[in-house]
Structure 1
């Protein structure tokens, strides 16, 4: 299955402890390059998150951002009664040493560090939810990459059809091209009003035919096209393999151009190069 390296997903969840939002952006890259942005309270999840990425993706620059907003309304204040009782007892003992002491103000006791305690969030639940939401986000990202990959495969198939049409066109015209070159050579010699040496003429024609013989290049172009179609159906990452095949296709197109003896075959070689370059640009986004 053809998968793109370009995709985006945003997944969100809410609970009593607050809300979590994962945003993942993926673009093309030669290797897998993850970038994680996490709140400090969830930084210890980085190792597990990288492991999930490694198992799910093989290539691409992947930016993962986690936002955590705790639910402040759920936090409550409580009094450490034991500590407050110790503080009050100490204050009363101190009053016996003071002649002009004032009554103990309860608000002053509450202001003392450690008397008032805030309820703590269950961070283990937050971490568990963060990992589960990340898995969901990765799944959605993979589906998006697969959808775009399927579209890229269709575009590549269209270019492959175009290459096959050009190859068929060149094959069909080769006999005509060689015959035209034979007639042209005879005509030029006739204009010079020189006696035709049939042996020398046949040698020149044979050299011309050898130079224009592109059957091998056309065969290899057809073979490479079939190989690209086969690779597009594979389930494993195929981007690097396809990139190599584009180089091979381009090499055969260049050879075809160098062997061209008429403008028509030169134009066909140019069309091949255009189609190959269009495929190569699309393949840069394939995993």
Structure 2
């Protein structure tokens, strides 16, 4: 089954859990796999593990991951007393008191207000425990994204198959029209020469040679054969159980190349219009496969 590169997934931890995780993940089309993660600074050491899991399950796309985390079981920061600095402040205050014979006493309120006497320190958490809780959430969000990608991929598959049938029908019409074009050219050339030569007998061998030269220059048998082959390759590739976006892009380029060649060789208005229809369908397929993994 083909997959698109567009998807969205969300997962969060249980409400009664001591740790609260909220994870959102979205992906859009991209030439390669591009993973961007926004997460709390304290959890940055886990970033590579998240990247590895995503890289194992997704092959292409721009993936944005947003992770919010709160710990209700313990404080993220704790207050610490800088005893050396507090002692220094107290000694300085005592010196001022003795030097100037001041009567005011030292107080807790006064000393605690001095800068950096009481500082806040972040507590280190057990990253292994956090990862054991976070990993299932990452996989759950990926499950949702992959489901969405597969659903959209199925729609793309069905639409591309319909368009490939339209292209094939137009190619068949061109193939059927080719002998008529050659016959019409021969009759038109014969009438023109007879009008010019009037009573002079027309050289049938010369006429046949001119028709043969025209047929050689305008023949599109090879292009038609290759177009049929590319259509079959397109359908076969859609059935592969692997990333096929780049391969499809190449096939569509080749289909467009053959259509352009047919258009350049064609002198018939009907064939030209059929080629325009084919190129229109090819362009629509090309736009769609830009979002196929």
Q: TM-score range by the shorter chain?
A: 0.7 to 0.9
Structure 2 spans left out of the alignment, 5+ residues: 76-104, 110-116
Q: Does 1:218 align with 2:219?
A: no
| Number of residue-to-residue matches in the alignment | 265
1:137 is matched with which residue? 141
CA 1:170–1:122 in 2, change beyond 3 Å: closer, same or farther? Answer: same
Indicate conservation of the 8 Å contact 1:42/1:127, yes or no.
Answer: no
Structure 1 spans left out of the alignment, 5+ residues: 76-101
Q: Using the TM superposition, give the Cα deviation of residue 125 of structure 1 relative to its aligned residue in structure 2, in angstroms.
A: 3.8
Structure 2: distance between partners of 1:20 and 1:154: 38
256-265 vs 182-191, which moves further: 182-191
Structure 1: distance between partners of 2:160 and 2:231: 10
CA deviations 1:51-74 (Å, max 9, x no partner) are: 1011111111111111113337x7
Q: Does 1:173 align with 2:177?
A: yes
CA deviations 1:148-190 (Å, max 9, x no partner) are: 1111111111111011101110111112221111111111122
Q: Does 1:249 align with 2:250?
A: no
Q: Using the TM superposition, give the Cα deviation of residue 196 of structure 1 relative to its aligned residue in structure 2, in angstroms.
A: 1.3
Indicate conservation of the 8 Å contact 1:2/1:286, yes or no.
Answer: yes
Indicate conservation of the 8 Å contact 2:21/2:69, yes or no.
Answer: yes
Indicate conservation of the 8 Å contact 2:263/2:275, yes or no.
Answer: yes
Structure 1: distance between partners of 2:31 and 2:256: 21
Q: Using the TM superposition, give the Cα deviation of residue 120 of structure 1 relative to its aligned residue in structure 2, in angstroms.
A: 9.2
2:160 is matched with which residue? 156
1:282 to 264, 288, 291: 288
Structure 1: distance between partners of 2:241 and 2:127: 39
2:203 is matched with which residue? 197
2:88 is matched with which residue? none
2:71 is matched with which residue? 70
TM-score, normalising length from structure 1? 0.81
2:37 is matched with which residue? 36
Structure 1: distance between partners of 2:281 and 2:127: 55
CA 1:211–1:23 in 2, change beyond 3 Å: closer, same or farther? Answer: same
Structure 2: distance between partners of 1:136 and 1:9: 8
Structure 2: distance between partners of 1:141 and 1:18: 24
Indicate conservation of the 8 Å contact 1:33/1:62, yes or no.
Answer: yes
Structure 1: distance between partners of 2:264 and 2:229: 20
Q: Using the TM superposition, give the Cα deviation of residue 200 of structure 1 relative to its aligned residue in structure 2, in angstroms.
A: 1.0
Indicate conservation of the 8 Å contact 2:9/2:143, yes or no.
Answer: no
CA 1:190–1:120 in 2, change beyond 3 Å: closer, same or farther? Answer: closer
Q: Give runs of aligned pairs for residues 12-91 of structure 1, distance below 5 A.
A: 12-14=12-14, 15-71=16-72
122-131 vs 264-273, which moves further: 122-131
Q: Please report the RMSD computed on the Cα atoms of aligned residues, expressed in angstroms.
A: 3.3
Q: Using the TM superposition, give the Cα deviation of residue 281 of structure 1 relative to its aligned residue in structure 2, in angstroms.
A: 0.7
What SS does structure 2 have at the residue aligned with 1:5? coil
